[in-house]
């Protein structure tokens, strides 16, 4: 069978709205899957940035009452991708971060906002838009987690239509969409759904758990993370649920969109690795150092990250003296938990350090294209995209041996170095001692220029695109369609 139509349902989509890698992945899959003869249409909340970014928008459906107000479904284009947006000003007409108020707290009506996304997704799956019906619906993360529940228990508008198969992808098990049970009636779900086999979770509701149990397949974004989340240590309370899915849980590694992350347009020549590549990288490093007043002759570590416990960013202040001992400097681009932002800002600085607290897409590109090594000391990492971007630009990632980091970075151990295949550095654990040790190892390796250049070549010529994984998604869609 070929020519499947997939409705992807998600809360982020690069380039319209992005807080992290979810947006990159959801934004990249339509063109990656087009190469597999799968047509993806993506349903998004109609945040102001989404509605403003749609090309040739057209209203294709009206809903009189979507959890407290009228809504329209708008179809439009973004580049070559097709997008449906839910224009519901009472739910999504708020600028800024899609999940939080300007003071950093979650919007109090997040349960309704994302139940609305899932409910409309399920309704479209059952034929709300008439002629256009997807063969498969694909929910991403907790924000779309209730979708299979609405398919199972009815969405209230289209209960006559047959339910298509559904798939859910877990991008991060830490976010589970947990809310009070009192909300259940207002979500339009029957009490029949309030069981441990559906939406009930420890006396409350979990959107993600509902998706994990009621969808036909569960995927996550790397094979190692698929194993980790089935253990009590990595399962965040959901390991039993995930183990119960058996072989219906699979890990499919993320790629990056190599048109967006293109070393040629960021001043580094891809794949034709040689003296010119190195000259371009040096020019980028000089530009980056000039911006922050750093010495381009020193080893330069970079960080591009959400500043959260997941990313191990609390380890950073303690590692600065080690970097100083090795004559390194550091540039940090990140935003996140206020207490971590404060701790990094206030840390004693024994080294030259550039710090930008905030979100800056262009600077992220320059850091990958100019820094020598990228620090990613994550405690857990479902996949991680920054290590892929870094390797693609010849910036060597320094990662913990977890999740997608373990699956994508080949450690500079003796065997890999002598085989010429090492692409980065793995640390054994997300702790201060391991970070200090790996910083020392990076500094020693960096001074050995021929070895460093061999590693850069291996990193830059490795495969980081979507081709292999798009084929795996396509084959999974074909499996659920029987
Ligand atoms: P996560 O989704 O857990 O934050 P990923 O590594 O999967 O981590 O994806 C992070 C994405 O967000 C990458 O595209 C990275 O370049 C980008 N990013 C993270 N922080 C920033 C920032 N402060 N400014 C610009 N881009 C950022
Ligand atoms: C999540 C994860 C990250 C992953 C991204 C895209 O934000 O934290 O590891 O790369 O989703 O799947």
DSSP string covering 333-357? EEEE-HHHHHHHHHS--SS-EEEEE
Same domain for 245 and 371, yes or no, is: no
Q: Has this prediction a pTM greater than 0.85?
A: yes
- The residue whose CA has the least distance to atom 11 of ligand 2 is 171
Ligand with smallest separation from the Cα of 405: 2
Distance (Å, rounded) from C-alpha 83 to C-alpha 240? Answer: 35
Question: Do residue 215 and residue 282 come from a single domain?
Answer: no
Q: Which atom of ligand 2 is nearest to the CA of 24?
A: 6
CA atoms within 13 A on the CB side of 287: 16
Which CATH number fits the domain that encloses residue 292? 3.40.50.2000
For residue 130, tell me if it sits in a domain: yes
Lowest mean pLDDT among 107-121, 157-171, 261-275: 261-275
Considering the domain architecture, whether residues 293 and 410 belong to the same structural domain is answered as yes
Question: Is residue 80 a contact partner of residue 87, using CB atoms and an 8 Å limit?
Answer: no
Tokens of 430: 């997300």
User: What is the distance of C-alpha 444 from the center of its chain?
Assistant: 32
Tell me, yes or no, whether 264 lies in a domain: no
Looking at the fold, whether 367 and 242 belong to one and the same domain comes out as no
Q: How far is the CA of 385 from the centre of ligand 2 (A)?
A: 7
Do 453 and 472 lie in one domain? The reply is: no
Beta bridge partners of 170: 220
pLDDT over 90 for what percent of the chain? 93
Looking at residue 277, its pLDDT comes to: 85
Q: pLDDT band for position 156 (50/70/90)?
A: confident
Q: How far apart are CA 224 and CA 250, in angstroms?
A: 10
CB 467 within 8 A of CB 29: no
Beta bridge partners of 71: 63
pLDDT over threshold 90, residue 157 = no
The answer as to whether 263 is a domain residue is: no
Tell whether ligand 1 has an atom less than 6 A from the beta carbon of residue 386. Answer: yes
The strands making up 81-87's β-sheet, listed across from edge to edge, are 55-63, 71-78, 81-87, 39-45, 5-9, 136-140, 166-170, 217-220, 249-251
Give the distance (Å) from ligand 2 centre to CA of residue 173.
Answer: 10
For residue 401, how far is the Cα from the chain centroid?
18
Q: Output the CA–CA distances (angstroms, integers) from residue 166 to 147, 149, 154, in the order listed.
A: 8, 10, 14
pLDDT at 279: 87
Residue 94 is encoded by which pair of tokens?
A: 């708020």
Quick one: tokens of 293?
């007043």
Q: With CA atoms as reference, report the closest residue to 349 among 327, 321, 376, 373.
A: 321
Using most ligand atoms within 8 A of CB, pick from 12, 13, 311, 384 the residue to mutate for ligand 2. 384
Q: What is the reported pLDDT for 275?
A: 82
Instruction: Give residue ranges with CB within 6 A of ligand 2.
Output: 20-22, 25, 171-172, 221, 254, 381-385, 404
Share of the chain above pLDDT 70, in %: 99
| DSSP letter assigned to residue 424 | B
Q: State how far the Cα of 412 lies from the Cα of 477, in Å rounded to an integer.
A: 37
**Torsional sign, CA 330, 335, 336, 342:** positive
In a domain, 447, yes or no: yes
**Segment 113-140 mean pLDDT:** 96
pLDDT digits (tens, 9 = 90+) for 262-271: 998 988 875 5
Total tally of structural domains belonging to the chain: 2
Residues whose CB is less than 8 angstroms from the CB of residue 468 and which lie 6 or more positions away in sequence, other chains included: 253, 255
| Protein residue closest via CA to atom 12 of ligand 1 | 20
The per-residue DSSP string of 184-203 comes to GGGGT--GGG-STTTTEETT
- Residues 6 or more apart whose Cβ sits within 8 Å of residue 376: 305, 311, 312, 384, 386, 387, 397, 398, 399, 400, 405
205: cis peptide before it, omega within 30°? no
List, in sequence order, every beta strand (DSSP E) within 273-419: 300-307, 329-336, 353-357, 373-376, 396-400
Structure confidence at residue 1 as a pLDDT band (50, 70, 90): very low
Considering the domain architecture, whether residues 431 and 472 belong to the same structural domain is answered as no
- DSSP annotation of 38 reads -
For residue 261, being part of any structural domain is answered with: no
Residues 207 and 233 in one domain: yes
User: pLDDT, tens digit, for every residue of 16-63?
Assistant: 999 999 999 999 999 999 999 999 999 999 999 999 999 999 999 999
Neighbour-count burial of 137, counting CB atoms closer than 10 A to its CB (0-12 exposed, 13-18 middle, 19+ buried): buried
Nearest ligand to the CA atom of 302: 1
On whether both 331 and 295 belong to a single domain, the answer is yes
My answer on whether 224 and 321 are in the same domain is: no
- Is 260 within the bounds of a domain? no
Q: Give how far Cα 379 sits from Cα of 294, 320, 476, Å.
A: 29, 19, 29
**169-185 mean pLDDT:** 97
**Whether 250 and 284 share a structural domain:** no
Q: Is 158 domain-assigned? A: yes
> Phi and psi dihedrals of 466, rounded to 5?
-100, -5
The answer on pLDDT for 433 being more than 60 is yes
Give the ligand whose atoms come closest to the C-alpha of residue 387. Answer: 1
Examine the pLDDT at 2 and tell me if it is beyond 80.
no
Q: What is the pLDDT of residues 353-404, one digit of tens each?
A: 999 999 999 999 999 999 999 999 999 999 999 999 999 999 999 999 999 9
Band the pLDDT of 160: cuts 50, 70, 90.
Answer: confident
* Cβ atoms within 10 Å, residue 182: 9
Cα gap 39→195, rounded to integer Å:
35
222 domain residue, yes or no: yes
Average pLDDT value for the chain: 96
In angstroms and rounded to an integer, the radius of gyration of the C-alpha atoms of the chain is: 23
Query: What domain range includes position 409?
Result: 275-460
């Amino acid at each position: 069978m070929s020519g499947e139509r997939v409705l992807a349902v998600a809360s982020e989509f690069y380039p319209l709205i992005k807080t992290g890698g979810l947006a990159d992945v959801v934004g990249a899959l339509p063109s990656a899957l087009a190469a597999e003869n799968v047509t993806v249409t993506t349903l998004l909340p109609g945040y102001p940035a989404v509605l403003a970014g749609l090309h040739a928008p057209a209203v294709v459906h009206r809903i009189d009452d979507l959890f407290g107000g009228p809504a329209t479904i708008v179809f439009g284009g973004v580049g070559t991708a097709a997008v449906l947006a839910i224009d519901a000003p009472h739910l999504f007409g708020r600028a800024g971060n899609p999940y939080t108020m300007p003071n950093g707290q979650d919007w109090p009506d997040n349960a309704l906002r994302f139940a609305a996304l899932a409910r409309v997704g399920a309704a479209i799956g059952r034929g709300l838009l008439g002629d256009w019906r997807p063969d498969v619906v694909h929910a991403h993360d907790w924000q779309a987690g209730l979708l299979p529940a609405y398919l199972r228990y009815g969405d209230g508008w289209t209960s006559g239509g047959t339910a298509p198969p559904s798939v859910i992808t877990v991008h991060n098990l830490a976010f589970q969409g947990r809310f009070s049970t009192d909300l259940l009636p207002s979500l339009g779900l029957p009490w029949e759904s309030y069981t441990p086999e559906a939406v009930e979770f420890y006396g409350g509701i979990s959107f993600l758990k509902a998706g994990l149990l009621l969808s036909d397949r569960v995927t996550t974004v790397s094979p190692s993370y698929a194993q980790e989340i089935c253990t009590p240590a990595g399962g965040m309370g959901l390991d039993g649920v995930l183990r119960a899915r058996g072989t219906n849980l699979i890990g499919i590694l993320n790629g990056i969109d190599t048109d967006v992350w293109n070393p040629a347009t960021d001043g580094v020549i891809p794949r034709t690795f040689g003296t010119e590549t190195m000259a371009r990288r040096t020019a980028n490093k000089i530009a980056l150092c000039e911006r922050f007043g750093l010495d381009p002759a020193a080893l330069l570590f970079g960080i591009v990250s959400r500043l959260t416990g997941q990313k191990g960013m609390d380890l950073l202040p303690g590692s600065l003296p080690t970097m100083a001992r090795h004559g390194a400097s550091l540039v940090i681009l990140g935003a996140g938990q206020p207490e971590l932002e404060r701790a990094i800002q206030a840390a004693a600085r024994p080294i030259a350090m550039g710090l930008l607290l905030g979100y800056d897409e262009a600077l992220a590109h320059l850091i990958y294209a100019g820094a020598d090594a990228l620090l990613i000391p994550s405690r857990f990492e479902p996949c991680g995209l920054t290590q892929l971007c870094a390797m693609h630009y010849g910036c060597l990632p320094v990662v913990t041996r977890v999740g997608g980091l373990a699956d994508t970075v080949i450690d500079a151990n003796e065997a890999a170095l002598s085989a010429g295949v090492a692409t980065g550095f793995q640390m054994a654990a997300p702790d201060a001692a391991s970070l200090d040790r790996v910083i020392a190892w990076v500094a020693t390796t960096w001074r050995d220029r021929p070895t460093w250049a061999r590693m850069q070549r291996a990193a830059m010529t490795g495969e980081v695109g979507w081709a292999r994984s798009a084929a795996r998604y396509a084959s999974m869609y074909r499996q659920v369609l029987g």
